[in-house]
Amino acid sequence: MRIAVDAMGGDKAPAQIVKGAVLAVKEYPCEIVLVGDENKIRKHLDEENLPITIRHADEVIQMGEHPADAVRNKKNSSIVVATKMVKDGECDAVLSAGSTGAAVAAAQLILKRLHGVGRPAIATPIPTPRGTTLLLDSGANVDSRPEHLIQIGIMGSLYAEHVLKIKNPSVALLNIGEEETKGNEQVKETYQLLKNLRTINFAGNAEGRDIPTGKFDVVICDGFVGNVVLKFGEGLALTIMKLLTEELTANGGAKLLGKELLAATFKNMYKRLDVSENGGAPLLGVDGCCVISHGSSDDKAICSAVGIACKYVDSKIFELIKAVL
């Protein structure tokens, strides 16, 4: 299995991307092609005799550029070259921690959407006390019609069942209340369509508080709402950890509980909340495997994202989505 990694995408590129690739080839049965400025990449590729090669690309799409225009105009940008390698069959998956918009645009323009899919969706796993809740769309498209949300629900259900191995996953529609009469026109129309759909286990409306509790296996919404929810959750988790640390330190809690016990507890909590433990989110609905990582991804997150890409490819989930839709 070969993974094309955009080595120039992300806040910590290329250093942390390269280090993550090195970790990944030692942990997963894959080869990695690092795509980007060869001279800059080689400065951080210290180890030899690893299944890692470099494909030179001398352009980079910056965060502030218009995604679709940049993809069309910068043919030799790292994300475009990496995505084209999947299209041409040179690699099985593409991974990027760069501009989400550019990654999505490249996937849609180069790999193309699967037949029957109106909008692709980023499926982000959210850690919960019960395991994982899959939130989608978490940022691929800010405007979605009811029929698009139906497709997102079907794709999310298939991914949860065949990749996350959740039997008969429950699917809920994100709303401002549990009652089917709640919400705007988009959500109310979507609810009625989902209620009559027999191909997924539709469990009704989900409220925002249901996402971190793990009440539902899959929660669907449009990309605007999903991205706000995702970033709010990340910020809240970090804030809670910071406040808890400050309070325990200020009140002598570390002495009372014991520094070693406290350190172990915080380490376990942080691991469950750490985005690098689930370093990538698949873009469902395009004809190929595309995994998108957080812009602040470090080597650990990139390694995790490569593992997600490997599972994604092995599952043949895009073939299954194509067949169902």
Any domain includes 15: yes
Q: Residue 244's pLDDT is what?
A: 75
List all residues 6 or more positions away from 222 whose beta carbon is below 8 Å from its beta carbon: 137, 141, 142, 143, 144, 148, 149, 186
Any domain includes 325: no
Any domain includes 323: no
What is the C-alpha separation between 124 and 138, in angstroms, rounded?
Answer: 7
Q: How many domains does the chain have?
A: 2
**pTM, to two decimals:** 0.88
Any domain includes 322: no
Q: Residue 38's pLDDT is what?
A: 94
For residues 132 and 269, membership in a common domain is answered with: yes
For residues 122 and 269, membership in a common domain is answered with: yes
For residues 136 and 175, membership in a common domain is answered with: yes
Q: Are 275 and 234 in contact (CB under 8 A)?
A: yes
In terms of residue numbers, what domain contains 291? 2-114+285-317
Q: Residue 60's pLDDT is what?
A: 93
For residues 189 and 213, membership in a common domain is answered with: yes
Q: CB-based burial of residue 159 (10 Å sphere; 0-12 exposed, 13-18 middle, 19+ buried)?
A: buried
For residues 10 and 138, membership in a common domain is answered with: no
Mutual angle of helices 15-27 and 299-315, in 10-degree steps: 50
Any domain includes 174: yes
Query: What's 27's domain CATH number?
Result: 3.40.718.10
Q: Residue 279's pLDDT is what?
A: 74
User: How would you write the chain as a 3-class SS string?
Assistant: CEEEEECCCCCCCCHHHHHHHHHHHHHCCCEEEEEECHHHHHCCCCCCCCCEEEEECCECCCCCCCHHHHHHHCCCEHHHHHHHHHHCCCCCEEEECCCHHHHHHHHHHHHCECCCCCCCEECEEEEECCEEEEEECCCCCCCCCHHHHHHHHHHHHHHHHHCCCCCCCEEEEECCCCCCCCCCHHHHHHHHHHHCCCCCEEEEEECCCHHHHCCCCEEECCHHHHHHHHHHHHHHHHHHHHHHHHHHHHCCHHHHHCHHHHHHHHHHHHHHHCHHHHCEEEEECECCEEEEECCCCCHHHHHHHHHHHHHHHHHCHHHHHHHHC
For residues 49 and 194, membership in a common domain is answered with: no
Q: CB-based burial of residue 23 (10 Å sphere; 0-12 exposed, 13-18 middle, 19+ buried)?
A: middle
Any domain includes 324: no
For residues 273 and 147, membership in a common domain is answered with: yes
Any domain includes 224: yes
For residues 85 and 164, membership in a common domain is answered with: no
Q: Residue 136's pLDDT is what?
A: 92
Spell out the per-residue pLDDT of the chain, length 325, in tens: 999 999 999 888 899 999 999 999 999 999 999 999 999 999 999 878 899 999 999 999 988 899 999 999 999 999 999 999 999 999 999 999 999 999 999 999 999 999 888 889 999 998 888 888 999 989 888 888 999 999 999 999 999 999 999 999 999 999 999 888 888 889 999 999 999 888 899 999 999 999 989 999 999 999 999 989 888 887 887 787 778 777 766 665 555 555 555 556 556 655 555 554 567 899 999 999 999 998 888 999 999 999 999 999 998 887 888 888 7
For residues 124 and 239, membership in a common domain is answered with: yes
Q: Residue 252's pLDDT is what?
A: 58
Q: Are 275 and 294 in contact (CB under 8 A)?
A: yes
Q: Residue 150's pLDDT is what?
A: 93
Tokens of 222: 């449009």
For residues 272 and 123, membership in a common domain is answered with: yes
Beta pairing class for 131-136 and 124-128: antiparallel
Any domain includes 250: yes
For residues 200 and 298, membership in a common domain is answered with: no
For residues 223 and 127, membership in a common domain is answered with: yes
